[in-house]
Structure 1
Amino acid sequence: MGPSIALRAITHRLTTTPTQELPHVVSYLAVSIGNCSDVIASAQTKKAANVDESDSLQVNKLKTRLTSLLQDRSFEGRWAGVVLVKATIEAGQWEILHDCGPWVRGLLSILSKPDPVSTKRLSIITLTRIFHLTYRYPTLVREITTPSLPPFITALLNLIIGKQSTNIPTQLKEPRLLETVLSALIDLIGRHPTIFRPFLNQLQSLLLPIVGSSTLSSSLSSEAVHVAQNLFISLHHCASKNTSNEKWANDCKHTIASIHQTADHIFRSVIEQWESSDPNFKPSQSSKIQSSTPVDDAPNALGLPPWQGLHAGVNRIVTLLGLLSNFMSARTPSAVNVPIGAILDLTSRLTSVTFPRDGDETSQGNREFSRDERVALWSELPRIHGACIDLFCAIIRSFSTSLTSVIQPILEQSIWTFEADLFDSDLRRSSYSLMTEILPLVGRSMSKANVFTLATLIRQCCRDLILPENDQTTKSQQSDSKTKSKGTQSLNVDAFLLPSQGANPSKDLSSRNTYSAALRLLPIIYNFLPVEYIPLPVRAEMDRTAVLTGNREAMSAGVMNPMPSIKGRRPIPSILPFLTRRHSKELEVECLLRPRMPVILGGANVTFEADDYEEEQYVPSAIVSGIDVQDVPPAASNEDLAQSHNVLQPLLLQSKRNFSDHLEPSSTRPSQDTPEQRGFQVKKPRLEDESNVLTAQPTPVTLSETALSPAVVPSASVPSFPTAHNTDDSVLGSVATRVQSSGPREVLGNARPDNPSGDSDDDMPTLNIEPDTDEDEDD
């Protein structure tokens, strides 16, 4: 009931609000239409009894009002109509799409009218969305998309392409709509390639000047150039049947050839040490033309316009390398042959020309050309090398482990250029991103020599993470202390006026990007490089950087990948205390601190040796007669007990009667050594009267104090008072050091009231040490 009322309120407000005031309420109306999606999508299938108040009538009123707004004479009305048509199509889906033919024609007419750029941009977005939604329904594609898409493409090209002439390159008519138009064409060309095929030449004439952006004005943004490159790559969809992969491969090869052609001109001032691995490659002879500046007006393999000047030539190479990166990243409808060898040959040429390390320009310089041109080339080389590294990143992201065989030359070229152009922050950022992709693939299998080649990169990564302002502050403090010691009075007064500027200076965008790339690389170095191959100074600097930056991932990786101990070398201390102090609330830090569960003491079927118990010196005070013997294992034998008789005797004298009193011939009977008797356990005595409790001092208890085998209970027993003369002197001497006894102990109440014979459960039963035979039964 709620959505129906809201829909009625929307139609009422659309019909009663003046057209000039609609832009103020159109956002609220668009949101309300989205909330009524259930009613709009199902209104045509319902048959309400009351026709005037039905949902179908309200939907028809809404569609009629939107159609009139698209044809309104005012800019405000058409702008509000475009926004509400987009919201209604998203809410109604098929129920609105199959009747949106008048809306499509109205939106196409807006593109040819002198409406504001915002209205045209919204019309392009709405039409693109309509063609996307109809793609799932063949009937709607036949009725709406097929007849409307060619006029839409024509209108888009007319919006951005001006009048062409033979000598003047293509001029952009409306640069502000360029990115929107190209994005719409990219979204539609993959789903309707046959419709785009007649417009292939016009699209190429539009895109080629943008791809070679050195001839265009600087008003184009990098996003627009990137979208143009993606559209140029997508043109292979429009090729004839089963030839799209060939067109893709040809365009890729033409791009590589164009880069070589441009490099022939801009590298003319140096002597290249590079030789192509392709025997069919021939450098251009026009590179030796004696002119003041490099220029290329020869026909280009890709069809790009000519350029003039070293800076324009470098822009051409950087742009084409970006186009080649998009070739590696773009999706294709069928399998294609990627020229990896030709790409690596190209990058080898571009990275072989580096800035002279020792400042000697004569080693690579060509004396036929001026020194100024050579110096200008040195300043442009970091841009070319950075574009090469970005190309490597795109290749590795696309092919991953399939490029394991060629990662070694990629790594060598990257390290070579990094060491040569270490001063450039953009190149360092690209190098860090490349190592972030390479190390998870082949880092663990690197040799010691390869790890040593990464030492310079790792050190620079640590330096980029540590803010240089801290080092400068430390140096200034040290210099101040030195000047104070010398008695000088030179002070920087401005530092006292604005102290915050020295503490938190603003960093530019390139520095922040470099910092982020280095921050992502440091944990990967810990996790994927062989720890034993990393030099000790480098590892120490890594740990220092991880602690100073507070990077939790790097510190955790450093703790989990410690340096192995080597004989004769002091071990490197762990940074776990710093990690605990900085990130004590993190779960992974808690797991590092407490990696194991508490040890479970004891067990159900654990067997202990008697010697382990005899080594104990003291036990808590307990009742001797109540010793628990249920936990004694049944595997013990009488022989073990006989061997420990010498030790058992002095201990029993403190609380038991003499063992010899029970050894009477009449009271002994042969035992039946059956399995049931072997498993018999002595029952605990029940102490019903306090008088039966023995008064005893704390004595050490051993395993030999308990009866470990079945025994015969004596028929009668006479209480006796044990003395120290019944024991061995050596054993008694050892026991006397632990047991304090001044004389014989008196037994209180040995006989229970219900036992007239005077027998007690506390007595030590008589043991049968005779052989396991029964002579009486044999007789």
Structure 2
Amino acid sequence: MATMSLRAVTHRLTTTPVQQLPPIASFLATSLSDCGELLSAPQNQKTGKSDSDNAIQIHKLKTRLGSLLQDRSFEGRWTGVVLVKATVEAGQWEVLRGCEPLVRSLIAILAKQDPVTTKKMCIITLTRIFHLTYQYPTLVREITTPSLPGFITSILNLVSVKPSSEPIRKLRPSTPFLEIALHVILELIARHPTTFRPFSAQIHSLLQAIIGSTSPTYPKPVMELAQRLFISLHNCAPKNAAGDEWRNANLLTISSIHRTSDYVFRSIIEQWESVDPNLRQAAAPQDYTQEVGDDGPDPLGLSGWRGIHSGVDRILALLRLLSTFFSTPTASAVSIPVGQILDLTSRLTSVIVPNESGGVQANSQISREERESLWTELPRIHAACMKLLVSAMNALETGTMSVAQTILEQATWVFRAEKFSRKVRVSMYNLVRSLLPIVGPSMTKQAVSSLTDLFQTCCVDLLPPADDTNPSAGSSTDAKGKSKANQVAVNADSFLNSGKQVRQVKQGPLFPELKRAASELLPIILTYVPTELLVPSLRGEIDRKIILTADKNAMISSVLNPLPAARGRGAGSSIIPFLARSYADEMEVEGLIRPRMPVLMSTPDLNGNVVVDEDEDEDEDMSVSAYQPTTQSTGFLRTSPPSAALSSQTTSVETFQTSTPAPSLNKRVYEEPTPQAPVAQPAEKKEDAQVKRARFEDDTIAAPTKPSLAKESPATFTGTAAIPVEQSSVTTTSTPQSVQTAAPFPKPVPATTPVKISAANETEESDDEMPTLNMEPDTDDDDDEEMDG
């Protein structure tokens, strides 16, 4: 099938006119991708006629692609670029080793007057070829190294102009190739830093113009690519100097932010003092009669700016650049200036929007308008500071343990003053979400109390509170207090729901980013903050919000971290019913509610054998089968009063019959009496009586277990109770001991009560028949006299 596809592609390329090739270019590229097995097969191993035919078709394909790249028409060159990329990706090394002529043709297309789409596709194809050759050192030496400098020059010429006498470049005013050019250079500079080293100054000049722009000239993707590429330029540094280059760029960025802040914060007198002695020096003198601004260049080489809004934009751009330092890979190990970064954030967060009581010392030489413009811009600066701290936390993780408390104090200081800003709340939620997994378990009650306001605001942002309103009552009240002339201002729509109590939720604009940040913070609070330090009212509010929003992660966190019981209150209620109702088909909820782990009865020893206490098992068996006393209500055993027993020297026996006799009861077993007859509990305590376990010596055999008589009445018993008989060495009969029962005593049963045997024993004969009881005493006369005495 692959042979047929390859033959069909070459046939259509050679027979179809060039102007008709673009519509079928995608189909031909897909067909070539299906021929990867043939294109990647070694061509020097020819074993048959079919292999020779395939080699001929591959040669025709390469020849046709080369001619299309050099075609005079735009359609031919565009089709050639598309098919070259598909062929290279399908053939891999077999096609790459002979693609040097194709690379030269592709670079030449970048200098021609081709459409933008053709040049963009050409840049993508060349970048793909350089990526595929990176794993083959021979191909890198033969193809990439000679071709890459020309490719870089062609890309820079598409986006900028280089004066002949200057080593820097100037961006073209509006070029469509800027984004793709920055992306390609960023992809290749890490793998070929030596080749890019001669062009680092030219690239740096272009990036300064993009990063230093204060007006929204460039879109956000271009700004992000420029920042990442600016940081990646440290790869082009000489050997063993990449780390120092990275640190110097970081420090220069911090210095540029401080210089811009000197101008932006000139309308107030700052109370901040830097820990860096170089920054303690007095700032450059400013002309307060002129508009706020910097003529430049700053320590980073950026151009000047004018206006408070442009100055804040410069600070935001540099803060984003500083955050990108933490997320961009480096060529070697680097040292992060954490102290300088926290010093910078301390300065930026120390200036907050003043409240009604003031708290900020104003500079009398600056107009009120500029100061009020600064108050408007401060939330943007503080939100960018929080994002910078989040980037540092995500990069360093537990390495920020020593400075986490400082970061938290700076953040809470800003939140208390500017929580009205949505951007500040979003950035604050993200920062606390990164901080709590690190410092949450070790937080004190005072630290948790300082975050209570933030937690409550998070609940409000997640779901606004309900509002009970009664439009009719309010309207009537207002109508009574107003004059007749002012009644025209009453809202007529409020009378539509007259007489009804309406419970509404305060609806506001939907901010998905704010709700996402709030919903992601609640599970972190429940998981990492000690539950005993959360106020019960706050914990209840959090549980209510996650129930109403049906957030699965937050509900699971609440169930796994219940509110512990404390003195004065019981254990907190669990929201597991709401979790089961909302997510009944989730595996996590199923495993949480009904775990299938088997119960561990005992602990195995080192050899894997289960250790069983035999004495404990014997005691349990005896406690089940041993004779236990019963009260009068059971009717299991009835005896005559002690006086009647002594006078007649007889005992009454009550019979019983089980509804479903077990096979083990077909034979009667006679056992020795217990050493001490159990005494029944008093009648007034029979309901709460606890039966004591009968203990036996080694020569004592437990009596058979009593059958259940819960459904029988004492009047219906017909069986015979198995009375233990003492086995004496002198005689085979003995006088049974009298058993005390709970008062009042039941009526004595005549001694001549016949013994009724069950039907199963009447039909078949038993070897063990009931022996005749000898009622004569077996004691001596002397013993009788002692007893009478």
State whether TM-score is above 0.5.
yes
- Corresponding residue of 1:519: 519
- Corresponding residue of 1:445: 442
Q: Deviations over 1:61-92 (max 9, x none)?
A: 22122112211222222222211111111111
- Corresponding residue of 1:293: 291
Shift of 1:49: 3.0
Judged with a 3 Å threshold, the aligned counterparts in structure 2 of structure 1 residues 447 and 85 are, in CA distance, closer, same or farther, namely same
Quick one: which amino acid aligns to residue 266 of structure 2?
R
- 2:162–2:168: 8 Å Cα contact kept in structure 1? no
- 2:393–2:435: 8 Å Cα contact kept in structure 1? yes
1:130 aligns with 2:140: no
Greater mean deviation of Cα atoms: 245-254 or 569-578: 569-578
1:744 aligns with 2:754: yes
1:126-205 alignment runs, 5 A limit? 126-164=125-163, 170-172=170-172, 174-205=174-205
- 1:26–1:83: 8 Å Cα contact kept in structure 2? yes
Structure 1: gaps (5+ residues): 497-501, 633-637, 648-672, 685-694, 767-779
Shift of 1:183: 1.0
- 1:43–1:59: 8 Å Cα contact kept in structure 2? no
- Corresponding residue of 2:585: 585
1:194-593 alignment runs, 5 A limit? 194-214=194-214, 218-283=216-281, 285-286=283-284, 288-358=286-356, 360=358, 363-466=360-463, 468=464, 471=466, 474=467, 477-480=469-472, 482-483=474-475, 490-492=491-493, 511-569=511-569, 572-593=572-593
- 1:396–1:403: 8 Å Cα contact kept in structure 2? yes
Shift of 1:743: 3.2
Matches of 1:646 and 1:505 in 2, distance apart? Answer: 75
Shift of 1:320: 0.7
Judged with a 3 Å threshold, the aligned counterparts in structure 2 of structure 1 residues 192 and 597 are, in CA distance, closer, same or farther, namely closer
Shift of 1:598: 8.6
Judged with a 3 Å threshold, the aligned counterparts in structure 2 of structure 1 residues 256 and 730 are, in CA distance, closer, same or farther, namely same
- 1:41–1:93: 8 Å Cα contact kept in structure 2? yes
- Corresponding residue of 2:786: none
Please, which of 718, 730, 749 is the counterpart of residue 740 of structure 2? 730
- 1:48–1:54: 8 Å Cα contact kept in structure 2? no
Quick one: which amino acid aligns to residue 530 of structure 1?
P
- Corresponding residue of 2:658: 621
Judged with a 3 Å threshold, the aligned counterparts in structure 2 of structure 1 residues 681 and 495 are, in CA distance, closer, same or farther, namely closer
Matches of 2:126 and 2:99 in 1, distance apart? Answer: 11
Please, which of 760, 763, 776 is the counterpart of residue 768 of structure 2? 760
3-state SS of 1:607 partner:
helix
Quick one: which amino acid aligns to residue 31 of structure 2?
S
Shift of 1:354: 0.4
Shift of 1:441: 1.2
- Corresponding residue of 1:687: none
3-state SS of 2:161 partner:
coil
Matches of 1:227 and 1:548 in 2, distance apart? Answer: 41
Matches of 1:727 and 1:117 in 2, distance apart? Answer: 116
Matches of 1:683 and 1:565 in 2, distance apart? Answer: 47
Shift of 1:434: 1.3
Judged with a 3 Å threshold, the aligned counterparts in structure 2 of structure 1 residues 294 and 747 are, in CA distance, closer, same or farther, namely closer
Greater mean deviation of Cα atoms: 431-440 or 22-31: 22-31
- 1:257–1:301: 8 Å Cα contact kept in structure 2? yes
3-state SS of 1:276 partner:
coil
- 1:6–1:32: 8 Å Cα contact kept in structure 2? yes
- Corresponding residue of 1:668: none
Matches of 1:289 and 1:611 in 2, distance apart? Answer: 100
Shift of 1:623: 7.3
Q: Deviations over 1:700-719 (max 9, x none)?
A: 98xx9789x9x8999999xx
Judged with a 3 Å threshold, the aligned counterparts in structure 2 of structure 1 residues 55 and 271 are, in CA distance, closer, same or farther, namely same
Quick one: which amino acid aligns to residue 642 of structure 1?
P
Matches of 2:225 and 2:8 in 1, distance apart? Answer: 42
Judged with a 3 Å threshold, the aligned counterparts in structure 2 of structure 1 residues 329 and 749 are, in CA distance, closer, same or farther, namely closer
Matches of 1:738 and 1:317 in 2, distance apart? Answer: 107
- 1:211–1:228: 8 Å Cα contact kept in structure 2? yes
Shift of 1:392: 0.6
Matches of 2:749 and 2:240 in 1, distance apart? Answer: 102
- 1:34–1:88: 8 Å Cα contact kept in structure 2? yes
Please, which of 675, 679, 699 is the counterpart of residue 642 of structure 1? 675
Judged with a 3 Å threshold, the aligned counterparts in structure 2 of structure 1 residues 261 and 760 are, in CA distance, closer, same or farther, namely same
Q: Deviations over 1:386-424 (max 9, x none)?
A: 111111111111111111001111111111112222122
- 2:87–2:95: 8 Å Cα contact kept in structure 1? yes
Please, which of 619, 631, 639 is the counterpart of residue 607 of structure 1? 619
- 1:618–1:699: 8 Å Cα contact kept in structure 2? no
Judged with a 3 Å threshold, the aligned counterparts in structure 2 of structure 1 residues 744 and 104 are, in CA distance, closer, same or farther, namely same
Matches of 1:763 and 1:680 in 2, distance apart? Answer: 20
3-state SS of 1:557 partner:
helix
Q: Report the identity percentage.
A: 42
- Corresponding residue of 1:89: 88
Q: Deviations over 1:425-484 (max 9, x none)?
A: 122111111112111111111111111111111111111110x4x74xx45x53355437
3-state SS of 1:44 partner:
coil
Matches of 2:748 and 2:208 in 1, distance apart? Answer: 102
Q: Deviations over 1:83-128 (max 9, x none)?
A: 1111111111101110111111111011111222221111111111
Matches of 1:434 and 1:399 in 2, distance apart? Answer: 14
Shift of 1:579: 2.1
- 1:750–1:760: 8 Å Cα contact kept in structure 2? no
Q: TM-score, normalised by structure 1?
A: 0.79
Quick one: which amino acid aligns to residue 240 of structure 2?
N
3-state SS of 1:25 partner:
helix
Greater mean deviation of Cα atoms: 389-398 or 736-745: 736-745
- Corresponding residue of 1:775: none
Give the paired residue count.
695
Judged with a 3 Å threshold, the aligned counterparts in structure 2 of structure 1 residues 624 and 221 are, in CA distance, closer, same or farther, namely closer
Shift of 1:45: 4.2
Quick one: which amino acid aligns to residue 621 of structure 1?
T
Q: Deviations over 1:193-226 (max 9, x none)?
A: 1111111110111111112121xx5241111111
Judged with a 3 Å threshold, the aligned counterparts in structure 2 of structure 1 residues 763 and 740 are, in CA distance, closer, same or farther, namely closer
- 1:43–1:56: 8 Å Cα contact kept in structure 2? no
Matches of 1:212 and 1:295 in 2, distance apart? Answer: 14
1:17 aligns with 2:12: no
- 2:169–2:206: 8 Å Cα contact kept in structure 1? no
Judged with a 3 Å threshold, the aligned counterparts in structure 2 of structure 1 residues 753 and 67 are, in CA distance, closer, same or farther, namely closer
Q: Deviations over 1:304-357 (max 9, x none)?
A: 111111111111111111111111222222221110000000000001000002
Quick one: which amino acid aligns to residue 380 of structure 1?
E
Quick one: which amino acid aligns to residue 247 of structure 2?
A
Matches of 1:459 and 1:77 in 2, distance apart? Answer: 65
Greater mean deviation of Cα atoms: 592-601 or 31-40: 592-601
Matches of 2:763 and 2:559 in 1, distance apart? Answer: 72
Matches of 1:27 and 1:52 in 2, distance apart? Answer: 27
Structure with the higher helix share, 1 or 2: 1
- 1:555–1:575: 8 Å Cα contact kept in structure 2? yes
Q: TM-score, normalised by structure 2?
A: 0.78
Structure 2: gaps (5+ residues): 480-486, 498-503, 603-611, 637-656, 681-696, 706-714, 775-789
1:697 aligns with 2:711: no
- 1:108–1:152: 8 Å Cα contact kept in structure 2? yes
- 1:436–1:524: 8 Å Cα contact kept in structure 2? yes
Greater mean deviation of Cα atoms: 338-347 or 593-602: 593-602
Matches of 1:284 and 1:764 in 2, distance apart? Answer: 123
Judged with a 3 Å threshold, the aligned counterparts in structure 2 of structure 1 residues 760 and 138 are, in CA distance, closer, same or farther, namely same
Quick one: which amino acid aligns to residue 390 of structure 2?
C
3-state SS of 1:68 partner:
helix
